[in-house]
Amino acid sequence: MKTGLSKIGRSAVILSTLCWLCASLPVNAVVETEPFSSPELEQRFRHLTEELRCPKCQNQNLADSGSPISADLRREIRVMLEQGRTDADITGYLVSRYGDFVLYKPPLQQNTLMLWLAPGVLVAIAALVLFAVIRRQRRGLVPGTSAESLSEQEQQQLSRLFSEPQNQGAETGSATNGTTRGGDSVESNLSGQQSGKKP
């Protein structure tokens, strides 16, 4: 089954398929045919169905879900809105039947305490750790992070090491070559110095 599709042709097919898929997404959103008596009610309806979770689905709100129970609940919410009931009333109606599960924004209570406090606690811990690390670095307690921890001899050695590779790079005339060679010489230089220092 070789159709002789070129690479470009194939990607064009994939691209157009994706375009079609994207184009058909809004069709999945449930269309309510009946209009509301006022635009304010429609606004509240939209808000409520976005905030409330479909009991049958794991992660879809009532507005997006196509399951029959969601359609029923949307109908109930519509009726209650037209009856002039408040948002809290309607939310309470659903919670008393389906539990806190239907709320995307769970209430602050004993079993949700962790959920609400954990982000704050974690941020606080992270801030403390960060603060401690910065303070230690400022004080120069972390070895090798402060210039003051080097002796005079070490300072001289350091500045020599920094200046050396650049000179060599200039000699060879090629930057890449120079750095590698410079790198080599730094290593040998360093080990030489260290072994010389030991006894």
Partner 1 sequence: MNRLKLFLPLIIFVALAAVLLRGLDRDPNAMPSALIDRPMPAFSKPSLLEPQLVLNESVFKGQPALLNVWATWCPSCRVEHPYLLQLAAQGVRIVGLNYKDDSDAARQLLRRTGNPYEINIEDRDGRLGIDLGVFGAPETYLVDAEGVIRFKHVGVVNERIWTQIEPLYQRLLAGVDN
Residues that bind partner 1 (CB under 8 A): 55-56, 58, 68-69, 72-73, 76, 95-99, 101
Q: How far apart are the first and last CA of the chain?
A: 77
* Structure tokens belonging to residue 133: 């690390």
To partner 1, the closest distance from the beta carbon of 56 in angstroms equals: 4
Which residue's CB is nearer to partner 1, number 58 or number 110? Answer: 58
To partner 1, the closest distance from the beta carbon of 85 in angstroms equals: 15
Which residue's CB is nearer to partner 1, number 24 or number 111? Answer: 111
Q: What torsion do the CA atoms of 154, 157, 159, 163 make, to the nearest 10 degrees?
A: -160
Q: Return the SS3 of 53.
A: strand
Report CA-CA distances (Å) from 163 to 83, 155, 168, 169: 83, 12, 9, 11
To partner 1, the closest distance from the beta carbon of 108 in angstroms equals: 18
Which residue's CB is nearer to partner 1, number 88 or number 147? Answer: 88
To partner 1, the closest distance from the beta carbon of 98 in angstroms equals: 5
> Cα–Cα distance between 12 and 24 in angstroms, integer?
18
To partner 1, the closest distance from the beta carbon of 67 in angstroms equals: 8
Q: Which residues contact 45 (CB under 8 A, 6 or more apart)?
A: 36, 77, 78, 81
Which residue's CB is nearer to partner 1, number 9 or number 107? Answer: 107
Which residue's CB is nearer to partner 1, number 56 or number 197? Answer: 56
Q: How open is the CA angle 73-74-79, to the nearest 5 degrees?
A: 95
Q: Which residues contact 99 (CB under 8 A, 6 or more apart)?
A: none
